[in-house]
Structures are given as C-alpha cells and as structure tokens.
Structure 1
C-alpha cells in the first residue's frame, strides 16, 4: 500500500525554511507499525439489496497434493504464471451477507475461531461492519465442511445466530446426518458427521431443508452443484434485473480451479461431478456476466468470471469508496 504525505505550508518563507532544515528535522516521528490490518469488510449494492463480504481469515496448506489429477509441477507452473508462491497455497474464508427488505441473510457461518490460528476474524469484522449476529434471520448453508458450519456455534457450543432460521440443502442433510454413509466419505472428512451433529443440534427446531432449484427466500434460489460434497449448493440472488451467484466452493482458489476447471482438488468428494458442475456454473455466470462472490476467493471476493482459453478467470470488481 502506498503511503502519501502532504505538508501544508503557510507561505513561501515557511517553505524555504523547511527546505533548509536537515532531513531528520523535517520528518515527523515514525508511528509504530500496526499489528492489525484495517477491518475486513466490503459493501456493494445489488438492486435494492446491500451485499457485505466479511473476511474470516485464512489457512495455508502445501501445494503438493492439493490437486489430485494433475502433477504438482503443473500446478506450480500455473501458480508461478500468476505470481503466486509455488510451495504453499493461502486459502481465504469470505462470508457473504445480504441485507434485504425482509431481513439480514448470511451464506455459511465461517470457522468460529476454532479451526486455525489465522482464521476466526468473522465476529470482529462483523462488529466493525455494524452487522449484529442477533439481526441475522437466516443462515443459508452451502455444504457441511467444517469451515462453513463450525461458526454456527462457539467452542462452548452456544448459538452464534440466536434468531436465525438455518436453511440447508436436503441432499447434504441426508448424507451427513446418516452415519451409515461414513464408508462413502473420504477418511479425512469423516469427522464432518460428528461436527454436523454438534453444530446443528442447538438449532434443531429451526432447520429447514430445501430442494435443488427451490426459492429458499424471496429473491434467493438454490442452485445444485453437487460433487464437492453430495449436496453442495450455490445460491442465485436477484433483485429486479440485478443478479449475483454465491459460488461457495465451486472453486477453491480461482487461480487454480477456475483456470483449470477439470482439476480435482483433495477436498472434492466426487471429483468428476465437481468438475462437471464447475464447468456448468462457470459457463452460466460468465455468459450472463453475472456478479459473483466466492468463499475462497481473494478478499473482497466481488467480481465476475470471464472465459480465458480453456478455463475461466476471476475479474475483481472495481473498488468503490461509497456503496
């Protein structure tokens, strides 16, 4: 970030005097470096709706082993082409809120400060953005991986969204609430069964299952994108002619999955289905020039997908100082 210094002089005499001073005497004392960044939230309008993306942090993982059906060298070459590190991949968590005339909605719930020391910033950034968890009247869940549902409750299992209805994809609910499916889940994801039970239990009376294609709330429709998980679901948001797609995990980092849609990552439960869904959704949002937000996109996760060769590229929207 480029710092700008502006010094106001009362007249030419003061200016000449200042030029004559030694550099050390002219320079103001340096402020100590801040330990924290500015609050991580960003707003934009979608018709009459206000969308706020909120940063929950990130985690890092090795590039090696991230893509299952491509050599690590190919993944590293793609990252290098885009100026990204080749050994470690930083995976952000970005939560999308939508303020509608009928109330405040959030898509997914974040990590709850319980998954990585570099994650768990949602609560602080919500406060900075003026978003009160008690005002959220619906949590709309894309799928049940831990980084999307752990933030439903605190480490003490207290509810985070006390007045919210919890809306979940029916196919996702059916899979993860049946322990008999454990053998069908990758070994590294089998903990999702217990985490599903734990995180949803305090909301049990307020859970509503929705089918693929259903209008889950006015202006919000479920879009099936199964493969990443058995019921992975995106959400189309529209107000009048304005529309956007909450992409959830249709890609992880778009610099990898969008550029190479057929690459299957370690978190995809059905890699072939995930790749097919990715192409179908990328075709739609790029053809319709639809605004998107994505859970693992670089913050503030607001822009469009455009075709780029055999794949797609994320084009960030212009930053605006006003909503």
Structure 2
C-alpha cells in the first residue's frame, strides 16, 4: 500500500464580482490499492459559521488547541476518485457553481489528472448536501457526468426527493432541501438506489452511517489485500469529531444520532486500522484513526 502526495497549482480564478483570487492549490493524495488507484481531489473549501461545528462552550479548549478561535471555519472539500481499470468512480461531485465561490473546483482538479467527465462510469453519493451533490448538473441542467450511472442510498434519495422535506427541515437548511429536490427530480430516472451492506460495485460495500443526514452512506473499498474506508461526512472534522466524538455537531441534522454513529465508526476504524478518506479532513483527507485515551486522534498520511 503506497501513499504519494502531489500539489497541483492552477491559475487564479475569479470569485463573483471580486478581484481575481491568488493561485489555488488543488492538493490531492493517492492510495495505490493493488491493481486499483484511489485519488482525492480538491473541490476547494467551504466558509461556515462556527455553529456548524458546535455551540457547546465545553468545546472551546479543544478548538483553541487546534488554533480555532474565530467565528468561522474553512473546511476543505475532498472528492474521492477510484479507478480499478474497469470502473472510474467518483464519490460525490462537489458544489458546482451555485453554492459558495470558494468551492466548486472539481473540474480543475480532474483536468490536472487528465480525467474527463465523460470518463466517469459511476457517480456515488454519500448524501445530498450541497457540497456533495450540487456539482452533478451543468449550467444547462444536464448531467455533468453524462456517461455515468448515478447511485445513492435508498433512504437518502427518498428523503431529499420528498417535497415534504422542505416543510420539515430546519430553516437554515431549506435551501439545501430545495437544491437537492431540484437536482434529484431531474436525475430521478437515472439514479440507482442501494441499501446498507450492499456491494454496489465490485469491492465497494455500502455502510449506513446516519445522523449527519437521515440516510448518509459511507463506503468500504477493497481491492486484493488493500482496503480503505470513505467516511463522507460521518466524521466531519479532524479536531472535535475525534477529541470529543460524543459531542453534538452543529452540521448534523440529527445531532444525537450523528454522535452515536461517529462514536461507533471511530471505534471500528481504530480497531480495523484502515486508511480513511474524509470529505472535510485536512491535507487531502487521507489518513488513519488512532485511539487517544478515551477519545481518538486523526493522523494524516502526508
């Protein structure tokens, strides 16, 4: 199992009416998995209020120990690309152009790897939040990955496709629900659904990890003797989620269930010693889980 790291520098991009941004670094990591290869690709980053991490005052010392003292955080967004010689699989597709100007950079990262949208055979969603789903359509509302089969967990798909979700989701996430509904209605006839424990593609097993969203899925990837675990947003940061996994996370739609899932998943990953890929983990998102007393720590592979 060989890890490599590369940094791809691209030209400055405009951000709305602002002046051109500095040159952006699309940091990525690669995990060689026998005859297959897994890459993480940067979709940029989000800018979120600290409440999306937590509003619990007991978290303050932990956050400060990681240098987090302001009113906002800027989590990276790591899309996973898996290629086994037959299938070219994207796990999530980033934000596209409609969510945040700091995100939506997946196409530049794919271009740097010389992977075209038409090369993708499967798009697999962990869940339906904007930074994972909204990049699925182009500017003409056509599927961006036109040759790909699109796949989503059945419970997650039905939740976002249900118009009643707009009336039941909290006010701060209503735009999430509206955006997911529009996109999934367009793609409805092109999406295959699956359940917990299913092998959705050779060597790719789905594992239900609910709480962040009702039907959030993670994925256990195996090729030969090598394995990795794609956590999506079941573990949403490298600090509080590891140091205090039982503490409610502001980004989870069901904070209690999210914490329960996180505690069990971290125990599983620390026991199995699998490489993990986290959508919002640093340095490309590829690392490992280690026990740290009664809690855990994230160890990046760099």
Instruction: State the TM-score, normalizing by the size of structure 2.
Output: 0.88
The question of whether the paired residues in 2 share the 8 Å contact of 1:80 and 1:86 is answered with no
Matched, 1:204 2:188: yes
Matched, 1:221 2:205: yes
The question of whether the paired residues in 1 share the 8 Å contact of 2:210 and 2:234 is answered with no
CA offsets 1:18-45 (integer angstroms, 9 cap, x no match): xxxxxxxxxxxxxxxx931444333220
C-alpha separation in 2, matches of 1:238 and 1:138 = 17
Q: Which consecutive residues of structure 1, in runs of 5 or more, have no partner in the other structure? A: 1-33
CA offsets 1:236-259 (integer angstroms, 9 cap, x no match): 101122111100001221212122
1:257 equivalent in structure 2: 241
C-alpha separation in 2, matches of 1:130 and 1:233 = 28
1:266 equivalent in structure 2: 250
2:44 equivalent in structure 1: 57
1:20-169 map, 5 Å? 35-64=22-51, 66-68=53-55, 70-71=56-57, 74-169=58-153
**What secondary structure sits across from 1:247 in the alignment?**
strand
C-alpha separation in 2, matches of 1:39 and 1:250 = 23
C-alpha separation in 2, matches of 1:274 and 1:174 = 19
C-alpha separation in 2, matches of 1:192 and 1:264 = 20
The question of whether the paired residues in 1 share the 8 Å contact of 2:230 and 2:276 is answered with yes
C-alpha separation in 2, matches of 1:150 and 1:240 = 33
2:160 equivalent in structure 1: 176
**What secondary structure sits across from 1:156 in the alignment?**
coil
**What secondary structure sits across from 2:182 in the alignment?**
helix
Pairs aligned (count) = 282
Pick the structure with more strand per residue. 2
Residues 1:38 and 1:195: Cα distance change in structure 2 (over 3 Å):
closer
Matched, 1:190 2:174: yes
1:26 equivalent in structure 2: none
| Offset at residue 64 of structure 1 (A) | 4.6
The question of whether the paired residues in 1 share the 8 Å contact of 2:249 and 2:259 is answered with no
The question of whether the paired residues in 2 share the 8 Å contact of 1:63 and 1:76 is answered with no
Root-mean-square deviation (Å)? 1.8
Matched, 1:239 2:223: yes
1:230 equivalent in structure 2: 214
| Offset at residue 235 of structure 1 (A) | 0.6
C-alpha separation in 1, matches of 2:166 and 2:23 = 41
**What secondary structure sits across from 2:239 in the alignment?**
helix
**What secondary structure sits across from 1:40 in the alignment?**
strand
C-alpha separation in 2, matches of 1:35 and 1:82 = 25
The question of whether the paired residues in 2 share the 8 Å contact of 1:47 and 1:242 is answered with yes
The question of whether the paired residues in 2 share the 8 Å contact of 1:169 and 1:232 is answered with yes
The question of whether the paired residues in 2 share the 8 Å contact of 1:153 and 1:159 is answered with yes
Instruction: State the TM-score, normalizing by the size of structure 1.
Output: 0.82
The question of whether the paired residues in 2 share the 8 Å contact of 1:48 and 1:100 is answered with yes
Q: Which consecutive residues of structure 2, in runs of 5 or more, have no partner in the other structure? A: 1-20
C-alpha separation in 2, matches of 1:210 and 1:247 = 17
The question of whether the paired residues in 2 share the 8 Å contact of 1:62 and 1:88 is answered with yes
The question of whether the paired residues in 2 share the 8 Å contact of 1:164 and 1:206 is answered with no
C-alpha separation in 2, matches of 1:81 and 1:142 = 30
Rg comparison, structure with higher value: 1
The question of whether the paired residues in 1 share the 8 Å contact of 2:136 and 2:144 is answered with yes
C-alpha separation in 1, matches of 2:276 and 2:107 = 23
